[in-house]
A and B are shown apart, each in its own frame.
Chain A
Amino acid sequence: MKYSKLEFSVGCFMLAGIGALLLLAFKVAGLTSNGQGETYTLYAKFDNIGGLKVRSPVKVGGVVVGRVSGISLDPQDQVPLVTLTLNKEVGQFAESSTATILTSGLLGEQYLGLNPGFADEEMGIGVLADGDTIADTQSALILEELIGKFIYSIGDN
């Protein structure tokens, strides 16, 4: 039994280290299991994505429903193509939904805002399925461009 005390303390040490890792993961990094839930993919083309990044949140009315999983340049139209990964549990969006790039606060991070539209079978508006493209998009507001336009319009007057 000479080893048992030693082994006990080493066991406690290992447990404490792994416990610290778990606490860091769940409490500090905010790792949650819903990232592993079922997802589906939508695409959206913008004229200008501003400061949107991969892993930026996709929000509906402020609620996070997914993430931006990829940003690339569409080779045919030469406009940015954003890939959205949305959680299946938030349901499907109508084809008339709009996607906008918004900024949280004046200088905060940029995120993608989804505005749910309505689906109407009589008018031929269905829902967006996996792999569809959101047609109605609005680009990011670029502060420098706005200021430039503003100064230009003052010059005209």
Chain B
Amino acid sequence: MLIDMIGGLGQKGMAAIIALGRAGFMLMHALVGRPQLRKHFPLLIQQLHVVGVQSVAIILVSGLFIGMVLALQGYNVLVDFGAEGSLGPLVSLSLLRELGPVVTALLFAGRAGSALTAELGLMKATEQLSSLEMMGIDPLRRVVAPRFWAGLLSMPLLAFMFSLVGIWGAKLVGVDWLGVDQGEFWSGMQAAVDWQEDVVQGFIKSLVFALLVTWIALFNGIDAEPTAAGISQGTTRTVVHSSLAVLGSDFILTAVMFG
């Protein structure tokens, strides 16, 4: 009984490490090799459209609302201390350092990551990937690589848009509605936000999140069992694993960069 339990635990651990190894192989195989720019560039553009452009709307709307809520909540606390001039730094720092990269990554995992997994899983189930292989085309290079690069390229851009729109939403609520002084709002923000400390490190964060989310999504698609239940499991796994990976790595990155 106890030995069975320990054995099961060991098996699960082994399976996790084997999956990690397969994921590493998949990524390496997809990315390493002679680039065929003329053939792969149109594919990249198409994936950028699917992964990036089509995510813009949800990113902008959620960024706007998060900025507005931050300003409203922050104002209610700060006004008690007569410090509503600190609203600008509060909103801009929390958006640039944390909320921009993290919420973008979570939305991206739900909006684009799950779609990537489902697409790849169905390609596998309907044996499109095997037929590509039969035709002598490496499916990892042709199908996985453009999706990976598209995710890696578009997530930082989406995070910038998210932060910018969030700050604009905070300005709408704070300055135009609640009556925080406009000069104080902007100058406080410019004094508090540092280019390298905040903007560049937020960019690094979103690059890491992009890598994690797209990698997890693609691997779960490739690795999904080629059945309806398998695809649905893979999609769920993508969202769960990538959300956890984003939040966990966010803690580590914050501890390393700002700690």
Contacts and interface: CB of A to CB of B under 8 A. Distances in A.
Interface residues of B, number: 29
Contact of A13 (B56, B163, B199): B56
A16 to B, nearest CB: 6
Given A7-B45, A9-B53, A16-B56, A28 B96 contact: yes
* Dominant secondary structure at the B interface: helix
Contacts of B154: 13, 17
A13 B195 CA distance: 23
A21 interface: yes
Given A16-B157, A24-B160, A24-B163, A29 B190 contact: yes
Which among B157, B163, B194, B199 has the highest number of chain A CB atoms within 10 Å?
Answer: B157
Interface string A1-39: 001001101101110111011011101111100000000
B46 interface: yes
A9 B52 CA distance: 10
A31 B158 CA distance: 21
Given A28-B92, A30-B193, A31-B195, A20 B48 contact: no
B160 A28 contact: no
Contact of A18 (B45, B157, B163, B199): B157
B45 A17 contact: no
Contacts of B157: 13-14, 16-18, 20-21
B70 to A, nearest CB: 14
Contacts of B194: 29, 55
Contact of A20 (B52, B160, B190): B160
A144 B56 CA distance: 52
B96 A24 contact: yes
Interface string B171-186: 0000000000000001
* Dominant secondary structure at the A interface: helix
A24 B49 contact: no
B167 A28 contact: yes
Chain A interface size, under 10 / 10 to 19 / 20 to 34 / 35 or more = 20 to 34
Nearest to A16: B161
Contact of A21 (B160, B167, B191): B160
Contact of A3 (B45, B167, B190, B199): B45
B208 interface: no
Contact of B45 (A10, A23, A25, A55): A10
Contact of A28 (B48, B49, B52, B189): B189
B10 interface: no
Nearest to A109: B191
Contacts of A24: 96, 160, 163-164, 199
A57 to B, nearest CB: 9
A36 to B, nearest CB: 12
Interface of B: 42, 45-46, 48-49, 52-53, 56, 92, 96, 154, 156-158, 160-161, 163-164, 167, 186, 189-191, 193-195, 198-199, 203
28 contacts: A3-B42, A6-B45, A6-B49, A9-B53, A10-B45, A10-B48, A10-B49, A13-B49, A13-B56, A13-B157, A16-B56, A17-B158, A18-B157, A20-B157, A20-B161, A20-B163, A24-B163, A25-B195, A27-B186, A28-B92, A28-B96, A28-B164, A28-B167, A28-B189, A29-B195, A30-B189, A30-B191, A55-B194
Closest 4 CB pairs of A and B: A17-B157, A30-B190, A20-B160, A20-B164
